[in-house]
């Protein structure tokens, strides 16, 4: 999870919501990514999707090896969970819940639905406090920056 946090910090430095993801197979990192929909002008460029693209490109296959684990700093959304299932990720470990759009515990738990042709084990809570704090600090800074910009705009009028 420390490597996923490092990826999330890269995203925060670029002005993206700090979410990072790492794919691991047999103890080796096979893919990594951070949120970059703003940078890439791509609404699908969530950390999980970027890590999947990285791994699949490296491996030359759209399916990942059995027992691949995803470590991600925030609970996956619907889009990301679907992609993880299609790629055959064996295990998903996320740090902190996403109460608005998380789908492996917050809003629903898609990992417990029997209609998928692949099932992934899900674990949560690894370094939860650190990841939650990183997100809270990011959004607090973003709100403060917006307030400052608004004050500056009002003072020039």
Give the whole-angstrom CA distance, residue 45 versus residue 86. Answer: 16
Task: Establish whether 86 is an annotated binding residue.
Answer: no
Residue 48 a catalytic site member: yes
Task: Establish whether 56 is an annotated binding residue.
Answer: no
Structure tokens at 46: 């969530």
What DSSP string describes the chain? -HHHHHHHHHHHHTTS---EEEEEETTEEEEEEE--HHHHT-TT--HHHHHHHHHHHHHTSSSPPTT-EEEEEE---HHHHHHHHHTT--EEEEEE--TTT-TBTTS-BGGG-TTSSS--EEEE-TTHHHHHHHHHHHHHHHHHHHHHHHHHHHHT-
Catalytic residue among 7, 16, 48, 98: 48
Task: Establish whether 129 is an annotated binding residue.
Answer: no
Q: Which residues are annotated as a binding site?
A: 46, 77, 80
The residues annotated with a catalytic role in the active site are 48
What residues form the annotated binding site for Zn(2+)?
46, 77, 80
């Amino acid at each position: 999870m420390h490597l996923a946090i490092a990826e999330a910090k890269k995203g925060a430095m670029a002005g993206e919501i700090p979410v990072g993801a790492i794919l691991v197979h047999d103890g080796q990192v096979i893919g990594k990514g951070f949120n970059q929909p703003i940078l890439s002008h791509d609404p699908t460029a969530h950390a999980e999707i970027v890590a999947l693209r990285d791994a699949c490109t490296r491996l030359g296959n759209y399916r990942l090896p059995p027992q691949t684990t995803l470590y991600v700093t925030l609970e996956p959304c619907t889009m990301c969970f679907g992609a993880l299932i299609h790629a055959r990720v064996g295990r998903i470990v996320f740090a902190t819940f996403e109460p608005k759009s998380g789908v492996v515990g917050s809003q629903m738990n898609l990992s417990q639905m029997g209609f998928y042709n692949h099932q992934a084990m899900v674990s949560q809570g690894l370094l939860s406090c650190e990841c939650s704090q990183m997100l809270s600090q990011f959004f607090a800074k973003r709100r403060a920056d917006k307030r400052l910009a608004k004050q500056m705009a009002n003072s020039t009028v």
